């Protein structure tokens, strides 16, 4: 999917939480997370060795719907 979104020049973000069943929980039982995507026309990539998703989720919401 990421390849198709890049080809279509569509902004997106994709976060994978290693070891967690899903990422709907901001405090998942995973081990870490990795984020990739295209935000505001630029390739983004970040990671954390903690499963905490609050910061990355709030940043996404601020960009998407504003403060």
Residue 61's pLDDT band (boundaries 50, 70, 90)?
Answer: confident
Q: What is the pLDDT of residues 35-46, one digit of tens each?
A: 888 877 788 888
pLDDT at 25: 64
Q: What is the DSSP string of 3-59?
A: HHHHHTT--EEEEEEET-S-SSSSS-S-SEEEEEEEETTEEEEEEESS---HHHHHH
The C-alpha atoms of residue 50 and residue 40 are separated, in whole angstroms, by 26
End-to-end CA distance of the chain: 29
In degrees and rounded to multiples of 5, residue 58 shows phi and psi of -65, -35
pTM over 0.85: no
Answer yes or no: is pLDDT of 23 > 60.
no
The pLDDT of 41-60, averaged and rounded, is: 81
Domain ranges of the chain: 2-65
């Amino acid at each position: 999917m990421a390849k198709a979104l890049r080809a279509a020049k569509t902004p997106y973000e994709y976060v994978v939480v290693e070891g967690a069943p899903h990422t709907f929980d901001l405090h998942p039982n995973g081990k870490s997370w990795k984020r990739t995507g295209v935000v505001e026309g630029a390739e983004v990539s970040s990671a954390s060795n903690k499963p905490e998703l609050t910061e990355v989720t709030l940043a996404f919401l601020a960009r998407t719907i504003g403060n």
